[in-house]
Structure 1
């Protein structure tokens, strides 16, 4: 980094620097190792959170594309319906051979059925992509919570180190374990709150 730049130190940086200045302090060394581990876990959780966010956006885009395709098919269906209606109307006009338009009516009906199936298929695809996007976005929120918990744990570890309040170490471990649990739930696609209230996982 250039000498004219600046660097913002995080809790982990302070913990490592403090431990380096107290090399014979086992407590400080343990805190430094703990914060390094938590920082690594937090980075992994953050990466997973970013990946799931990208997936959610991609799935939502796929849903929009499928919805557009469904709308195009329904417009085509409506155009065929209009042609069918005109052919049926022509059959009722005087001095017109109805047999001439009967084949057109039958053809439009058959074409409409095929177009309808395609439109419904695209609508179903759009619904499926939307559902996938919602599920992955929920998973992203779980990863974000897990990452935040690890960051809080690192901050608590830094406070523990700076204040030498050893009882704070228990809080650090408790928050870190909670964050890891949230990460495991996210990895397994489990919604702990949903499971608690009977909604089940995703």
Structure 2
């Protein structure tokens, strides 16, 4: 457009002006807006799905570390039990004047075993907590993945609805997107 009132534009500009003046094809505009919004929400849900999957792996790894630490404590407990058994045997076979020395060792090993058991039990409880958190994150991950999949199907239905101009596909698109949003809400609420 020049400053002297002379106006030239191409066919694309004409269609844009026509759509702006006459509202364009209502269905096309509605589906385009819907697709943009659902794609954005789907991207956020996809991110959350990836984050919860990563958390589940991290938590499972932490559980494995705690299980290994607990196993080490139980091995240590077992070695103290073996030493205690040997001290009891030595006490029972020793002359009377040596028995108090071996009895003191038996008592010391019993005390050490009890302390080790407390640590091992605590580590096993921590491992169980990490496992439970991992399971919760995987459940949530599955919800995010289901939601994202439903939203992707809704976007595909939107494209088909645009191409075919079928109203029932537009309704299906909204329905599937609604299902995806509900599942995403369930993921958000940890259901």
Fold conserved (TM > 0.5)? yes
* Aligned mates of 1:53, 1:181 — CA distance in 2: 20
User: Per the alignment, do residues 94 and 32 of structure 1 end up closer, same or farther by CA in structure 2, a change over 3 Å counting?
Assistant: closer
What corresponds to 2:185 in structure 1? 184
What corresponds to 1:9 in structure 2? none
* Aligned mates of 1:66, 1:167 — CA distance in 2: 55
Larger Rg: 2
User: Which string of whole-angstrom CA distances, capped at 9 and with x for unpartnered residues, describes residues 129-159 of structure 1?
Assistant: 1111011101100000000000000000000
Q: How does 1:98-137 map to 2 (within 5 A)?
A: 98-137=99-138
Segments of structure 1 that go 5 or more residues without pairing to the other structure are: 1-18, 191-202
What corresponds to 1:5 in structure 2? none
Runs of 4+ in 1 over 4 A off after TM superposition: none
Give the TM-score of the pair, scaled to structure 2.
0.86
Q: How does 1:120-159 map to 2 (within 5 A)?
A: 120-159=121-160
- The 10-residue stretch of structure 1 (88-97 or 128-137) with the greater mean CA deviation from structure 2: 88-97
Question: Deviation at 1:102?
Answer: 1.1
SS of alignment partner, residue 91 of structure 1: helix
Question: Deviation at 1:94?
Answer: 4.3
* Aligned mates of 1:30, 1:129 — CA distance in 2: 46
* Aligned mates of 2:101, 2:122 — CA distance in 1: 33
How many residues align structurally? 171
What corresponds to 2:72 in structure 1? 72
- The 10-residue stretch of structure 1 (96-105 or 45-54) with the greater mean CA deviation from structure 2: 96-105
Bigger helix fraction: 2
* Aligned mates of 2:76, 2:85 — CA distance in 1: 14
Alignment RMSD, CA only?
1.6
What corresponds to 2:59 in structure 1? 59
* Aligned mates of 2:160, 2:95 — CA distance in 1: 96
